[in-house]
Amino acid sequence: MQEIIRQLLVALGEDPSREGLLDTPKRVEKALTFLTSGYAADVDATLNNALFSVDYNEMVIVRDIDFYSLCEHHLLPFFGKCHIAYIPQGRVLGLSKIPRLVDIFARRLQIQERLTNQIAETIREKIDPLGVAVVMEATHLCMSMRGVEKQNSFAVTSAMHGAFRTSSRTRMEFLELIKLRSAVPGLGEAGGHACLADE
């Protein structure tokens, strides 16, 4: 990988032998390996049997989970907050495992829509809840640094399953608890959620 990065620097018009760039190929390799470490991660090993049987069927929410990912189209970062809720059906997931699950899928080359769905589907598969909801808000540097160059835009994606899809009351309770409606105009209107992503 380091040799490919040296060739890239040359193609960009740089001199990889100059002082400031001597260690750049090594640093970039280390950074990219970390930022794509989700490919090597094992979901089951990460969850580490943190599935617990409980008599609890009210909404569980973990909100404001910071995430950082790389856009697969331009290899530029997108980052923001992830909010997750589910309604248990006899089993819950250890709370600390939920942000770890987000990291597994965020640390891959991604698009925000797929990332949102992967998190929701994994929770649904592992604990079979009555419903699961995932909302992600992100700033995309491929939109703010290049292309349309809209520095203040952000994308919102959602995945709603089970009770969150069939019950508007459940869905709105979740959106109210994460306070997303006040941040995104129109999100509190009929339909309950929206995707503002611009691919």
The per-residue pLDDT for range 14-37, each reduced to its tens digit, is 999 999 999 999 999 999 999 999
Q: What is the DSSP letter of 106?
A: H
pLDDT at 188 over 90: no
Active site residue 161: no
Active site residue 82: no
42, two tokens? 């094992």
* Inter-helix orientation angle 24-35/2-11, to 10°: 110
Active site residue 3: no
Ranges of each domain in the chain: 2-35, 44-177
* Inter-helix orientation angle 112-127/97-106, to 10°: 140
Range 119-123 contact pairs with CB under 8 angstroms and sequence separation of 24 or more: 119/82, 119/84, 119/159, 120/159, 120/161, 121/159, 122/43, 123/84, 123/86, 123/93, 123/98
pLDDT at 54 over 70: yes
pLDDT at 130 over 90: yes
Q: What is the pLDDT of residue 92?
A: 93
pLDDT at 192 over 60: no
The residue from 82, 83, 110, 112 that is catalytic is: 112
The residue from 14, 74, 113, 173 that is catalytic is: 74
pLDDT at 180 over 70: no
- 126 pLDDT band, cuts 50/70/90, is very high
The residue from 3, 72, 125, 199 that is catalytic is: 72
The residue from 83, 140, 161, 193 that is catalytic is: 140
Q: What is the pLDDT of residue 17?
A: 96
Active site residue 71: yes
Q: What is the pLDDT of residues 61-119, one digit of tens each?
A: 999 999 999 999 999 999 999 999 999 999 999 999 999 999 999 999 999 999 999 99
The pTM of this model reads 0.85
Q: What is the mean pLDDT of residues 8-15?
A: 97
Q: What is the mean pLDDT of residues 10-16?
A: 97
CATH no. of 44-177: 3.30.1130.10
**Terminal-residue alpha carbon distance, the chain:** 29
Contact, 26 vs 2, CB < 8 A?
yes
The residue from 83, 142, 161, 193 that is catalytic is: 142
pLDDT at 181 over 90: no
Which of the listed ranges 27-36, 43-52, 143-152, 173-182 does the model predict with the highest average pLDDT?
27-36
Active site residue 83: no
Do you know the residue count of the chain? 199
Q: What is the DSSP letter of 65?
A: E
Q: What is the pLDDT of residues 131-167, one digit of tens each?
A: 999 999 999 998 888 777 677 778 999 999 999 999 9
